[in-house]
Structure 1
């Protein structure tokens, strides 16, 4: 059995290693493409849903792509992927558990059991994100569910994480069973959790169009690099790496990478594109799949990333998995 690469070399936002896409929440919004997010949803068994309203954007976003995931004891999850209409780069992701997405009737009050399940979900999400990004800035609390039937008893809580200067994670919940109809104004119960992952600043560097000649050239370099790995010529393989990667990568890391590649299966290029780093640097991405993998999306991918000097700054064997069970 192939072992998972435990040593992960990170230079900027790039790495040599193996990635397993089984996570249910896409926090790495700068380094994950819309296509990769869609592939994850398909592997999770999500159902793509239609937009019932026209989304108006003033920053160049297209209509979001939405998926529904089944949940137990709480509202089903609606995931909305927001991306630029011009080039499909990600803008934000919204994960939303909201009764009002599915129940349109007035006075749709919920049981104490339901409310406790919603609070449990919020607390689990909070714990998971804290473990990855540290403690959040917090407003409000969810300690007294007995007050939710009262007019002033609505419970609210908001968490804000800032993993870096260009990403913000915001989560909040609102829980209330209060109902009132006063003339034309109706106040309905509210039971929702929303989790946003947002880019907080625009990429300022313009990106040149990726031409076919450059893709062909990098494809040849990728094939040659993989050949050096297949023959275990580690010294030669390092000639294809950028200086920063070359100085830090170890033979052990390369050998473990080799163990996670299947050289008996032919590969084919299925995607090429550009990616902007947090410092504005532009990189070229090539995605490969194994030719005999006819599943949609492919079960395994190989992502190779080049800098502007045609040197490799990242290679990731990616295995797509189903939904992670808690």
Structure 2
């Protein structure tokens, strides 16, 4: 009898101390995608809105109009962008060239948010893999969160 009680107590302790695996979900206030299986592409209207804001920013960058550039930036970006960043952007982006959209999507963040993103290349770059890719990330209202030029090296 003592052996049966000992075996049952060992098994019951293991059962009661076992843990269930939790499946946490990140809650996001900026997440425009309610269903994770939803399409991650942007609509034509969104692309037109974001592309227009990007082109306005590039035009302001070309003439070094800081007030116009800041009007297009989100509050987060305004807090982080300095004169050095504007100077670096004007050096890395050739504002005299035209741009071609190569990819549109929602960019996920660590917090679980998804922001609209458009990737550009120079329209005169005919290579399969472009030499320079410019990624622009936006808030849903069209304000620019960030612009990052990236030179592809092999």
So what's the TM-score if we normalise by structure 1? 0.35
Change (3 A) 1:269 1:203: farther
Q: Check if 1:318 corresponds to 2:150.
A: yes
Structure number, greater radius of gyration:
2
Q: Deviation above 2 Å: which 4+ runs of structure 1?
A: 201-210
CA distance in 1, matches of 2:50, 2:59: 14
Residue 35 of structure 2, aligned match among 206, 226, 230: 206
Counterpart for residue 16 of structure 2: none
Residue 277 of structure 1, aligned match among 103, 106, 109: 109
Change (3 A) 1:278 1:206: farther
Q: Check if 1:265 corresponds to 2:97.
A: yes
Counterpart for residue 8 of structure 2: none
Q: Check if 1:224 corresponds to 2:53.
A: no
CA distance in 1, matches of 2:43, 2:50: 11
CA distance in 2, matches of 1:245, 1:291: 27
CA-CA distance at 1:202 after TM superposition: 7.2
User: Does the Cα contact within 8 Å between 1:285 and 1:304 map onto a contact in 2?
Assistant: yes
CA-CA distance at 1:276 after TM superposition: 1.8
CA-CA distance at 1:264 after TM superposition: 2.0
How many residue pairs get aligned? The number is 122
DSSP-derived class of the 1:298 partner: coil
Residue 300 of structure 1, aligned match among 103, 111, 132: 132
Q: Deviations over 1:264-301 (max 9, x none)?
A: 22111121111221112220110111111111111111
DSSP-derived class of the 2:126 partner: coil
Counterpart for residue 245 of structure 1: 77
User: Does the Cα contact within 8 Å between 1:203 and 1:276 map onto a contact in 2?
Assistant: no
Structure 1, unpaired ranges of 5+:
1-200
Structure 2, unpaired ranges of 5+:
1-23, 28-33
So what's the TM-score if we normalise by structure 2? 0.72
Residue 120 of structure 2, aligned match among 275, 281, 288: 288
CA-CA distance at 1:203 after TM superposition: 6.5
User: Does the Cα contact within 8 Å between 1:301 and 1:317 map onto a contact in 2?
Assistant: yes
RMSD: 1.9
